[in-house]
């Protein structure tokens, strides 16, 4: 059996894009930073062409802005961004969870509950487990349009969580809320699970908004 190989150029562009996006999503390149194409190529070990192509895609996704004669500006996170992202999550995630609920393997739900029940809590990195669980629910909703949209929203939400240290301030409460959601799903009380999901996201929204309003 033979497989069609992607052109090397596309592979390099995709690699550069993935590396840069991960750095932006995880705030390894902080919001508000100024970047230089040549410097990025040197640091990441790529030629300038795949870096330039990756930057073009990241600009369309709203992570960066090309500033003429100055360089590449990493977009900051505004209060408007926070409000719109959480508005999307509040409207869509409870619906996605309802759609996903009949498709969620009980064994997997119990594994997630175990993760959130075990201590001590890894305060610094707990948000990664948090968002992985949310994606697990979303990916089982059997709606490719919701899945595609929400993956983008979750990436943008990750920047908010990291930059606001939301996860560190409310990690204990968030773990308890996750366990409540999982318990409802395991007992097949799907309406309650969706309601608890809405409440959980509302609490996350308040934590993020309180942080960004303080600046």
Q: What is the pLDDT along the chain (215 residues), one digit of tens a residue?
A: 444 444 555 788 899 999 999 999 999 999 999 998 999 999 989 999 999 999 999 999 999 999 988 889 999 998 999 999 999 999 999 999 999 999 999 999 999 999 888 866 666 677 888 899 999 999 999 999 999 999 999 999 999 888 876 545 577 788 899 999 999 999 999 999 999 999 999 999 988 888 877 65
Q: Are residues 110 and 171 in the same domain?
A: yes
| Residue 116 CB burial class (10 angstroms; 0-12, 13-18, ≥19) | buried
Residue 123 belongs to some domain of the structure? yes
Q: Are residues 61 and 162 in the same domain?
A: no
Q: Are residues 53 and 86 in the same domain?
A: no
Last residue of a domain, one of 74, 93, 127: 74
Q: Are residues 114 and 165 in the same domain?
A: yes
At residue 82's C-alpha, the angle toward residues 151 and 24, to 5°, is 55
pTM, rounded to two decimals: 0.85
Residue 3 belongs to some domain of the structure? no
* Four-residue CA torsion sign, 200, 111, 121, 157: negative
CATH of the domain at 186: 1.20.120.530
Angle between helices 8-25 and 37-44 (to 10 degrees): 100
Q: Tokens at residue 47, please?
A: 């030629």
Last residue of a domain, one of 53, 74, 95: 74
Residue 40 belongs to some domain of the structure? yes
Last residue of a domain, one of 74, 109, 127: 74
CATH of the domain at 55: 1.10.10.10
Residue 162 belongs to some domain of the structure? yes
Query: What pLDDT does 135 receive?
Result: 96
Residue 166 belongs to some domain of the structure? yes
Q: Domain containing 60: what range?
A: 8-74
Residue 2 belongs to some domain of the structure? no
Query: What pLDDT does 137 receive?
Result: 98
Residue 1 belongs to some domain of the structure? no
Q: Are residues 46 and 87 in the same domain?
A: no
Q: Are residues 46 and 121 in the same domain?
A: no
Q: Are residues 70 and 154 in the same domain?
A: no
Q: Are residues 58 and 123 in the same domain?
A: no
């Amino acid at each position: 059996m033979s497989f069609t190989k992607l052109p090397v150029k596309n592979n390099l562009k995709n690699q550069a894009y993935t590396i840069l996006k991960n750095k932006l999503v995880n705030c390894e390149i902080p919001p508000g930073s100024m970047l230089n194409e040549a410097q990025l190529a040197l640091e990441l070990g790529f030629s300038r062409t795949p870096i330039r192509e990756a930057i073009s895609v990241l600009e369309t996704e709203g992570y960066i802005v090309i500033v003429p004669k100055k360089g590449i500006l990493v977009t900051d996170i505004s209060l408007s961004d926070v409000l719109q992202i959480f508005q999307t999550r509040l409207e869509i995630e409870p619906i996605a969870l309802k759609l996903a609920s009949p498709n969620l393997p009980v064994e997997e739900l119990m594994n997630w509950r175990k993760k959130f029940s075990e201590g001590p809590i890894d305060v610094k990195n707990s948000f990664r487990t948090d968002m992985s669980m949310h994606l697990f629910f979303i990916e089982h909703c059997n709606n490719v349009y919701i899945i595609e949209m929400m993956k983008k929203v979750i990436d943008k939400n990750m920047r908010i969580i990291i930059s606001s240290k939301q996860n560190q301030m409310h990690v204990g409460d968030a773990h308890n809320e996750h366990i409540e959601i999982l318990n409802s799903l395991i007992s097949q009380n799907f309406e309650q699970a969706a309601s608890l999901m809405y409440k959980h996201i509302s609490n996350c929204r308040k934590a993020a908004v309180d942080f960004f309003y303080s600046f």
